[in-house]
Amino acid sequence: MMKNDIRWDKAMYTTDTYNVEGLNGHAYAENGISVETSSPLSDEPGTNPEQLLGMSLCTCLVGTMEVILKEHHINEQAKAHAKISYVKGKGRYEFLVHAQVCVPGQTLPQTRALVSEVENRCCVSQLLSGSDNYSIEAVLDWE
């Protein structure tokens, strides 16, 4: 069981998140935010799993890039964009995830080098990186 892993005892931060109402309900973090949830295929108000995954990935990419830029003495604010699609795969439903990272003031080769670093250090990117459904690229601006 993952809970018996000793790394849990050495965690720098842990949170508990919940959804006890289903897709059309609410999800919340203990002592944190609560968001209304809904299916991406309905017109009901609320946030869906695709949006939450995209925001998590973008936030982690930008946060990790802030550390990398500081290490390289680059005084710029990185930006991240994620496109998440819900598709019918081989006998199951899947997410397609494509992230773009931009660092103003940097050339495309410089940005590619920085994105290579962030891709290997961002925790959410690391979780997704084993999937053929995940890609990340350096861009000068949104395409």
78 in the same domain as 122: yes
15 in the same domain as 58: no
Q: Is the pLDDT of residue 29 over 90?
A: yes
70 in the same domain as 15: no
Q: Is residue 7 part of a domain?
A: yes
106 in the same domain as 92: yes
For range 137-143, the mean pLDDT: 88
SS3 content of the chain, % helix, strand, coil (to 5): 35, 25, 35
Fill in the amino acid letter for 30: E
110 in the same domain as 84: yes
131 in the same domain as 78: yes
Least confident of 3-7, 19-23, 105-109, 126-130: 3-7
Q: Is the pLDDT of residue 129 over 90?
A: yes
User: What is the phi/psi pair of residue 101, to 5°?
Assistant: -125, 135
Q: Of residues 64 and 32, which shows the higher confidence score? A: 64
126 in the same domain as 79: yes
- pLDDT digits over 85-119, tens only? 999 878 899 999 999 999 999 999 999 999 999 99
Q: How confident is the model at residue 8 (pLDDT cuts 50, 70, 90)?
A: confident
- Between the CA of residue 88 and those of 39, 85, 91, 92, 96, what are the distances in Å? 15, 10, 7, 6, 10
54 in the same domain as 37: no
- What domain count does the chain have? 2
- pLDDT digits over 35-75, tens only? 999 999 999 999 999 999 999 999 999 999 999 999 999 99
Q: How confident is the model at residue 143 (pLDDT cuts 50, 70, 90)?
A: low
Q: How confident is the model at residue 6 (pLDDT cuts 50, 70, 90)?
A: confident
Domain of residue 109, residue span: 49-138
Q: Is the pLDDT of residue 1 over 90?
A: no
How far does CA 132 lie from the centroid of its chain?
16
User: Left if phi > 0, otherwise alpha if psi is -120 to 50, otherwise beta: which for 73?
Assistant: left
CATH number, domain containing residue 91: 3.30.300.20
Q: Is residue 124 part of a domain?
A: yes
In order, the DSSP letters of 42-89 are: S--SSB-HHHHHHHHHHHHHHHHHHHHHHHTT-----EEEEEEEEEE-
58 in the same domain as 30: no
Contacts of 78 (CB under 8 A, 6+ apart): 61, 62, 65, 66, 69, 101, 102, 103, 114, 118
CA distance 117 to 141: 19
